[in-house]
Structure 1
Amino acid sequence: MNHTAEVFQPLQDDDPRTVAGYRLAARLGAGGMGRVYLSHTRGGRPVALKVVRSELADDATFRRRFGREIKAARRVKGAYTAELIDADPDGTPPWLATLYVPGPPLSDAVARSGPLPVPAVLWLMAGVAEALQAIHGAGIVHRDLKPANVLLAADGPRVIDFGISLAADSTAHTATGTTIGTPQYMAPEQASGGDVTAATDIFSLGQTAAFAALGRPLYGDGPAATVLYRIVHSEPDLSGLPERLRDLLGRCLAADPGERAAPAEIVEWCRRELGRDGGEDTGPAVWREIAGPPVTVPPPVAATGAATAVTPAVAPGSTAVHTAPWTAPAAPQAPFVSPGTAPAPWPGASGPWGPGAPQR
């Protein structure tokens, strides 16, 4: 997924060319909520613009919940999240834009290269746990944390699609009697229709980390009902996991939500384990190998439809809450290229627990 032609798909006949003034440069993907496109801010910063599918957009309940979730998501400023910078829940169709993360989903990285080594899994867990601290601190439960929603940037993981699952979940449940989410990564209480809390995300983090370490879902594949039955009625089999990960994952995957580890505990536990490898100069190199080579992001699209390159603006800091669509510059310059090197995200340098955590 790191090859430019695979990451950035050309727009199809049924794709819009603009959304609320944002000119679309490529299609990034599609999912249960709708389609995702590449666009740019006024300063040329790439964004992922997500357009809600019509079945949800036509539901008044969804729009109300979507608007509330967007307000909450604007408060999330974690270093390991893809920040929400613009949105219109009342648009036709509703949409939102987050900072674009140049890196593959964890699901694709594992499919391409196999299970991650233990130090990379620890770094992954620490970064995702810090992201959950920021998300939960804003009063949001992710509800659909999974490998496809964790992107591997050059300087660490980024959690995406937080703050929008509740609106879709309520709408789909009312209409079909089903629950939005991915069966392999649901918590027991979510699978059985119980209360969903911040601890639900911790269970999903445990399953996501187990997938990274094993190269397959911890509870296996198969029909959704079969997988959900295993999650609700059986203990997780941790015997295939590296021994260093079993205690922490066992805490994350406790059946009782009250017994699961808190995000701060996970960050501290991972920091301590990574500290054991402090004399090894393998961390940054291992992470860069997992994230894959950098990709060249397509330049903004001019009003005439021709691609016009701009020099990207400095990434917005943690206080950025809104931006504006891109406007064609007077003269073209160099396209945005995702960074090929990363600040060393390992003990002794920086990390999700230290002062050197990456800032956008």
Structure 2
Amino acid sequence: MLGRLGEGGQGVVYLGRDADGDLVTVKLLRGGVAAGQRARSRFVKEADAAQQVAGRHTARVLDADVTGDRPYIVSEFVEGPSLQHVVEDRGPLPPPRLRKLALRTAGALAAIHRAGIVHRDFKPGNVLLGPDGAKVIDFGIARTTGADATPMTTGPVGTPAYMAPEQIEDEPVGPPADVFAWAATMVFAATGRPPFGTGPSAAVMRRVTSRRPDLGELEGPLRELAARCLDKNPAARPTARQLVRALRDGQAPAPKPRPKRIPRYRWRMMIALALVVSAGFTLGILF
């Protein structure tokens, strides 16, 4: 163990060196043997999800022990800053670099979804820019697609500026939520800000569910592709595989037919708006 790299809500990440002299990252579950069953269960799911993903655009899991007194996950060390830090320090990416980032991260999502996993926290902070290109990390809140067949009971989980509307409304979350987050991340990389702005979490989430995205200076086919991916209805978004093909061909895929079924979370918003309008109309009559 060489030093601490950082920490999050679930664990502490250290820099280490293996027996062959290669650098690795070691994530230890916070609390160790005293960690609660829920935290330990999430850590097990993270290790399982990361090990199932086979792709050169994700950090490989090298070793893991999630049953002992000090559960840990050892992963490939990606020597490079996060996309979040690069954009904050140096500004938006130039178009050639942005196109490479878009293709590599879309490829990572395609591999993740092919393994039956939904990342659920795809964002600039979880994209590392190493010497051989971008790699996606952190499967701390990932789920299998089967597990997401029913609504979550723990409330919305993720990073507000990059969460899809269905994720915010605690609806079943599948691969389309990752596609939404991918597009939001590409907008950040191109403009220096997420498409629904920043600020208090409640305000950001309200904009995600009710307002159109601000794509700023994003141009060309990537702008059209991002707009498709940021559709409020998950059924209207392209898949990660379609993203890869579109980016290689240099043009957005044909739009999907507009879904006729309105998701439950959109019905709730429409009902709430109708109640507000109705209440205002009633007050107008009384006064």
Q: State the TM bucket, normalised to the shorter chain.
A: 0.7 to 0.9
Mean alpha-carbon deviation: is it higher for 133-142 or for 203-212? 133-142
- Is 1:165 aligned with 2:137? no
Q: Which residue of 2 aligns with 1:77?
A: 54
User: 1:57 Cα deviation (Å)?
Assistant: 6.2
- Correspondent of 2:43 among 66, 69, 79: 66
Aligned to 1:47: 24
CA contact (8 A) 2:54 2:111 kept: yes
Segments of 5+ residues of structure 2 without an aligned counterpart are 252-287
Q: Tell me, yes or no, if structure 1 residue 253 matches structure 2 residue 227.
A: no
Name the aligned partner's letter for residue 28 of structure 1.
Answer: L
| In 2: Cα distance, 1:65 partner to 1:57 partner | 15
Shift in CA distance, 55/187, structure 1 to aligned 2, threshold 3 Å: farther
Structure 1 residue identity aligned to 2:239? A
- Confirm or deny that 1:135 pairs with 2:104: no
1:103 aligns with 2:106: no
Q: Given the two structures, how large is their TM-score scaled by the length of structure 1?
A: 0.63
> How big is the alpha-carbon RMSD for the aligned residues of Structure 1 and Structure 2?
2.2
Cα offset for 1:71?
Answer: 2.6
Out of 233, 240, 263, which is 2:210 matched to? 233
Matches of 1:258 and 1:56, distance apart in 2: 42
Structure 1 residues 202-217: aligned runs within 5 Å: 202-217=179-194
For these two proteins, the number of residue pairs brought into alignment is: 244
* Paired letter, 2:53: V
State how far apart, in whole Å, the 2-side matches of 1:125 and 1:156 are. 11
Maintained 8 Å contact 1:82/1:101: yes
Counterpart CA distance in 2 for 1:232 and 1:98 is 35
Distance 1:59 1:265 in 2: 40
What TM-score do the two structures reach when normalised by structure 2?
Answer: 0.79
Structure 1 residue identity aligned to 2:11? G
Instruction: Give the fraction of aligned pairs with identical amino acids, expressed as a percent.
Output: 43
Identify the residue that residue 125 of structure 1 maps to in structure 2: 102
Give the deviation of 1:64 after TM superposition.
3.0
Distance 1:64 1:88 in 2: 13
Which residue, 258, 261, 266 being the options, matches 2:243?
Answer: 266
> 1:196 corresponds to which residue?
173
The structure that is helix-richer by fraction is: 2
CA separation of 1:115 and 1:54: change in aligned 2, threshold 3 A: same
